[in-house]
């Protein structure tokens, strides 16, 4: 690694400046005003003490997670020193400066590190500019310094993906000048580098603009890289506002000098911060995700060490997907099914998932082999007697699930957590057959389980706080967003989506076409519309659920309920189950896009027209806005109903009035958390 060739006298004059010092509760060294002020005064002190080199590092095992996102709600804090001023100050220091990076250096954290003349990282460190995930662009020079350091193509990829980059890769692209090996102290390594550079006159990154502008051949390549990046981005109205802004800012890094590039970056940053609804939504989602995935206040810490032996019951697509998630995170997993054929199928799906990870570069052969060495299958649940957690993913039937839980109760230890992946059934009833049902909980994965990040962790009435904390920790360990929800029909996700898809069918009954409705929702920014979604999930599932609720048969349907039979008849009469059979709300041609591209269906249009005629429905015209509102308002209303079940509306209003906040802010700022 970095050789030290310095005298002890020189090392003495290297000053270490700590990000986050004296700022309590700043777990990730975000760069809020207090942290910036403290950094500035440490730098001033180092200069006053004639430091001959300076090392910048973070506390709590991490460098910095970047700007303090909470400051963005009020348009960002411009109070002095701003991040720009701080970065300018570091860059202008006349002595060698080295960032010692462990944990993460993200966003403004990496921008701070880029203002140092050198960077050293721990092998486990991660760096990145993830601002686009917050609907903004790097706003403290990241779009100008990263391309100067690592080239335009790399900067385009890194900034538009917002991904975390491993130390090794960062080193390959010149973002890190050195990597501290195992057992090596990164601050010590940085000190060595800093003192070895004392007296050298290497230039800061801002001056590299001259080199960039000088090379015509680079410009042609960079123009091509920018054009290619643009062609691959989602449209601005499809969530792409920030990524388009990022590419424009990077393009300015070689089209003009440093100061002009910085000005372009700042203009784009400020415009997005002030006016992008996508950005506001993304920042809301950042905090909402953390709010809803934390155990409720007062819950005990998760068991340490968290058990590592997991059983998954049911080797279907869902069960194998769930088993994959645990295997990837280093758990010991046993997959159980009642038939050899079922197990063989599950085993195949799981191995394919792990193989795909390697093919797509998300994992290595070595890692995949080690994961698979922790995997076993069994035809009996006896194999789970040492399990710390069992996730049941068997057929969606109350009787079957209760039978499994009862049998498990006699096999596993009393401390083993029993989770069910049910999407609709009552957790309390499933848990009622277990001797100590405080260790039962729902763990509702979304399909495909090995891909989707969301898991609803469903709390039953008997579930203990310890079980909640442990399931929360397991969810985090397997990389899921594990949202704690209550036990009700459809939990949160499916419960809110049901009125949305119902209303979509009403719109079609009233005169809109299937494509009109889906088009209105994608125009709004949804990835797909409700009918495409139904075709992917299988329209037969909706029919089964509605049958369970006695809605399909008019004789058992509650009086006064608006109900359209189109969705039921589509399946029961036309057998248009969805993508899996090549026809649903849309037609699917196996020769086009592997049979996954929805194409308008004349058969469905005819059927809908006859349906309307049979009910004497006068077809109406709808604007996109009307369709968007009709579909989304029922979903929003259902969300509010869910909140009402926890918070009495009158109590809520009283609290909001007392605190002088809007209802939105009450939840957005996490004030309702203490009530969970």
Active site residues: 111, 131
Residue 162: CB minimum distance to ligand 3HC, A: 8
Residue 475: CB minimum distance to ligand 3HC, A: 12
**Of the candidate residues 20, 58, 96, 108, the single one contacting ligand 3HC (CB under 6 A):** 108
Q: If binding is defined by CB under 6 A, does position 87 make contact with ligand 3HC? A: no
Residue 363: CB minimum distance to ligand 3HC, A: 20
List, in sequence order, every residue forming a beta bridge with 309; answer none if it has no partner. Answer: 332
Tokens (6 digits) for 533: 């979604």
- Residue whose CB is less far from ligand 3HC, 69 or 483: 69
**Do 427 and 458 contact (CB within 8 A), yes or no?**
yes
Contacts of 8 (CB under 8 A, 6+ apart): none
**Of the candidate residues 232, 290, 641, 648, the single one contacting ligand 3HC (CB under 6 A):** 290
Q: If binding is defined by CB under 6 A, does position 28 make contact with ligand 3HC? A: yes
**Of the candidate residues 17, 39, 55, 65, the single one contacting ligand 3HC (CB under 6 A):** 65
**Of the candidate residues 70, 211, 215, 599, the single one contacting ligand 3HC (CB under 6 A):** 70
| Tokens 């967003």 sit on residue | 481
The packing angle between helices 152-161 and 216-232, to 10°, is 20
The whole-angstrom separation of Cα 632 and Cα 235 is 22
Tokens (6 digits) for 110: 């990496």
Tokens (6 digits) for 108: 């403004």
List, in sequence order, every residue forming a beta bridge with 445; answer none if it has no partner. Answer: 455
Q: If binding is defined by CB under 6 A, does position 130 make contact with ligand 3HC? A: yes
Judged by phi (left if over 0) then psi (alpha if -120 to 50, else beta), residue 307 lies in beta
- Residue whose CB is less far from ligand 3HC, 273 or 551: 273
**Of the candidate residues 46, 67, 125, 247, the single one contacting ligand 3HC (CB under 6 A):** 67
The sign of the dihedral angle between the CA atoms of 183, 185, 188, 193 is positive
Q: If binding is defined by CB under 6 A, does position 278 make contact with ligand 3HC? A: no
- Residue whose CB is less far from ligand 3HC, 431 or 482: 482
Provide φ and ψ at 579, rounded to 5°.
-50, -40
SS (H, E, C) 201-266: CCCCHHHHHHHHHHCHHHHHHHHHHHHHHHHHCCCHHHCCHHHHHHHHHHHHHHHCCHHHHHHHHH
**Do 419 and 471 contact (CB within 8 A), yes or no?**
yes
Q: If binding is defined by CB under 6 A, does position 139 make contact with ligand 3HC? A: yes
Q: If binding is defined by CB under 6 A, does position 83 make contact with ligand 3HC? A: yes
Q: If binding is defined by CB under 6 A, does position 509 make contact with ligand 3HC? A: no
> For residue 631, what is the DSSP state?
H
- Residue whose CB is less far from ligand 3HC, 448 or 670: 670
Q: If binding is defined by CB under 6 A, does position 482 make contact with ligand 3HC? A: no
The packing angle between helices 152-161 and 142-150, to 10°, is 140
**Of the candidate residues 131, 177, 337, 587, the single one contacting ligand 3HC (CB under 6 A):** 131
Stretch that binds ligand 3HC, among 135-143, 425-433, 462-470, 631-639 (CB under 6 A): 135-143
The sign of the dihedral angle between the CA atoms of 153, 155, 160, 166 is positive
Q: If binding is defined by CB under 6 A, does position 302 make contact with ligand 3HC? A: no
- Number of residues forming the site for ligand 3HC (CB under 6 A): 24
Stretch that binds ligand 3HC, among 106-114, 256-264, 396-404, 604-612 (CB under 6 A): 106-114
Which residues contact ligand 3HC (rule: CB under 6 A)?
Answer: 27-28, 30, 65-70, 83, 104, 106-108, 111, 130-131, 134, 138-140, 142, 290, 294
């Amino acid at each position: 690694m970095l050789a030290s060739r310095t005298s002890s006298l020189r090392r003495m004059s290297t000053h270490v400046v700590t990000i986050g010092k004296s700022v309590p509760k700043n777990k990730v060294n975000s760069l809020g005003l207090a942290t910036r002020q403290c950094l500035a005064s440490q730098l001033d002190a180092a200069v006053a003490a004639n430091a001959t080199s300076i090392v910048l590092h973070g506390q709590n095992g991490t460098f910095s997670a970047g700007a303090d996102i909470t400051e963005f709600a009020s348009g960002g804090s411009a109070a002095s020193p701003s991040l720009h001023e701080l970065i300018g100050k570091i860059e202008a220091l006349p002595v060698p400066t080295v960032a010692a990076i462990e944990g993460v250096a993200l966003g403004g954290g990496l921008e701070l590190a880029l203002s140092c003349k050198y960077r050293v990282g721990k092998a486990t460190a991660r760096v990145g500019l993830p601002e686009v995930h917050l609907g903004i662009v790097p706003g403290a020079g990241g779009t100008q310094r990263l391309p100067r350091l690592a080239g335009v193509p790399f900067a385009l990829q890194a900034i538009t993906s917002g991904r975390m980059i491993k130390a090794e890769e960062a080193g390959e692209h010149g973002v890190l000048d050195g990597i501290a090996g195992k057992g090596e102290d990164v601050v010590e390594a940085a000190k060595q580098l800093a003192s070895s550079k004392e007296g050298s006159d290497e230039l800061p990154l801002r001056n590299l603009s001259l080199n960039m502008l000088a090379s015509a051949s680079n410009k042609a390549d960079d123009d091509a890289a920018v054009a290619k990046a643009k062609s691959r981005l989602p449209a601005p109205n499809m969530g792409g506002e920030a990524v388009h802004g990022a590419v424009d800012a990077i393009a300015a890094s070689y089209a003009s000098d440093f100061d002009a590039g910085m000005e372009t970056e700042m203009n784009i940053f400020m415009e997005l911060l002030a006016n992008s609804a996508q950005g506001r939504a993304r920042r809301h989602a950042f905090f909402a995700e953390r709010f809803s995935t934390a155990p409720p206040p007062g819950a005990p810490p998760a068991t340490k060490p968290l058990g590592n032996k997991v059983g998954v019951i049911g080797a279907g697509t869902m069960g194998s997907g769930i088993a994959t998630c645990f295997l990837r995170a280093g758990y010991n997993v046993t997959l159980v099914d009642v038939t050899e054929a079922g197990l063989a199928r599950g085993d195949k799906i799981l191995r394919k998932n792990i193989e795909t990870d390697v093919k797509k570069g998300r994992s290595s052969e070595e890692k995949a082999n080690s994961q698979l060495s922790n995997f076993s299958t069994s035809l009996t649940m006896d194999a789970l007697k040492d399990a710390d957690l069992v996730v049941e993913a068997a057929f969606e039937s109350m009787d079957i699930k209760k039978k499994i839980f009862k049998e498990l109760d006699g096999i596993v230890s009393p401390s083993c957590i029993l989770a069910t992946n049910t999407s609709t059934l009552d957790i309390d009833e499933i848990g009622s057959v277990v001797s100590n049902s405080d260790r039962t909980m729902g763990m509702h994965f979304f399909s495909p389980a090995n891909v989707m990040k969301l898991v609803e962790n469903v709390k039953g009435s008997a579930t203990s706080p310890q079980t909640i904390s442990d399931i929360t920790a397991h969810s985090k360990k397997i990389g899921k967003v594990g949202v704690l929800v209550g036990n009700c029909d459809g939990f949160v996700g499916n419960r809110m989506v049901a009125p949305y898809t119902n209303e979509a069918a009403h719109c079609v009954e009233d005169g809109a076409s299937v494509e009109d409705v889906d088009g209105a929702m994608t125009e709004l920014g949804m990835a797909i519309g409700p009918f495409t979604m139904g075709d992917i999930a299988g329209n037969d599932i909706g029919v089964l659920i509605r049958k369970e609720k006695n809605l399909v048969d008019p004789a058992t349907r509650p009086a006064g309920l608006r109900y359209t039979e189109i969705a039921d008849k589509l399946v029961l009469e036309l057998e248009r189950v969805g993508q899996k059979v090549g026809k649903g709300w849309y037609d699917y041609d196996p020769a086009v896009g592997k049979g996954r591209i929805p194409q308008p269906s004349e058969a469905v249009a005819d059927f809908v027209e006859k349906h309307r005629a049979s009910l004497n429905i006068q077809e109406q015209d709808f604007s996109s806005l009307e369709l968007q509102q009709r579909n989304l308002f029922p979903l929003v209303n259902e969300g509010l109903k869910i909140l009402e079940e926890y918070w009495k509306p009158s109590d809520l209003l009283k609290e909001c009035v007392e605190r002088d906040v809007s209802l939105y802010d009450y939840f957005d700022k996490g004030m309702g958390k203490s009530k969970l």
